[in-house]
Amino acid sequence: MSLQEALALHQQGQLAQAEASYLQLIQTSPDHHKAMQLLGVLYLQSRIFDQAHTWLGRSLLLNPDHAQGHCNMGSALEGLGRLDEAMASLDSAIALKRDYPLAWFNRGNVLHKLRRYALAAQSFEKACQGFVQSPQTLQRRPHVAVPLGVVGVEQQGTAEPSVGLVEDP
C-alpha cells in the first residue's frame, strides 16, 4: 500500500481502511513521518485526541519544521484541554508560516477558550486576512466565518467555538 492509496481511502471517508494502511506503512517504514502525520489527522478528525497527539508528536519529532503538523498538534492539544500547550503549538506553526490562516483561526479559538477575547479577535482578524488572500481555503471551510460574526456574543459567554480545524488530508 502506498501513501497515496492510503490518503485516497482517507479522503473517501474509508477511515478504518485508511488507518490500517497508515499503520502498515509505519510498520514497514518506522520513520515515515507523513504517514504518522496523516494518521494523527485521521484520529483528530475522529476526535480521538490522545491518539492524534501521539502520532502527531511522533511525526513532529522527525519533521519539526512542519507548520501544518504544529497546527494539527495544536488542535489535538486543544481537544485534550491542554490549552497553554495548544497555544505554544499554534504559535510554532505561525512562526514557521506567518501567513497560515488556519493556524490563526485555531489560535483564536484557543484564546477564546482562555477568555482572552481581544487577542482572540486579533487572531480571527489575521485568519480572515489570510482567507481573503486564499479564498479557496475559505470555500472549503465556510464555517470559519461564524465565530467572527459572534465575537460580541462570545464575549458574553453564550457561544463556544469547536475544537480547532485541521487541514484536509
pLDDT reported for residue 128: 85
Residue 156 backbone phi and psi in degrees, to 5: -90, 0
pLDDT tens readout for residues 1-10: 899 999 999 9
Average pLDDT over all residues of the chain: 84
In 3D space, the residue among 43, 33, 42, 29 whose CA is nearest the CA of residue 1 turns out to be 29
Q: Is the pLDDT of residue 114 over 90?
A: yes
Sign for the CA dihedral angle at 78, 81, 85, 91 comes to positive
More confident of the two residues 135 and 95 = 95
Give the model's confidence band at 108: pLDDT under 50 very low, under 70 low, under 90 confident, else very high. Answer: very high
Q: At 168, is the pLDDT very low, low, confident or very high (cuts 50, 70, 90)? A: low
| pLDDT at residue 81, rounded to an integer | 97
pLDDT at 58: 98
Q: Per the confidence metrics, is the pTM higher than 0.85?
A: no
- What value does the mean pLDDT take over residues 26-39? 96
Q: So what's the pLDDT on residue 157?
A: 39
More reliable by pLDDT, 167 or 39: 39
Distances in Å between the alpha carbon of 68 and those of 41, 63, 114, 115, 156? Answer: 10, 11, 23, 25, 32
- Please name the residue that has the C-alpha cell 517504514: 29
Question: Which domains are delineated in the chain?
Answer: 1-64 (1.25.40.10), 92-169 (no CATH)
115, HSE (Cβ side, Cα atoms, 13 Å): 3
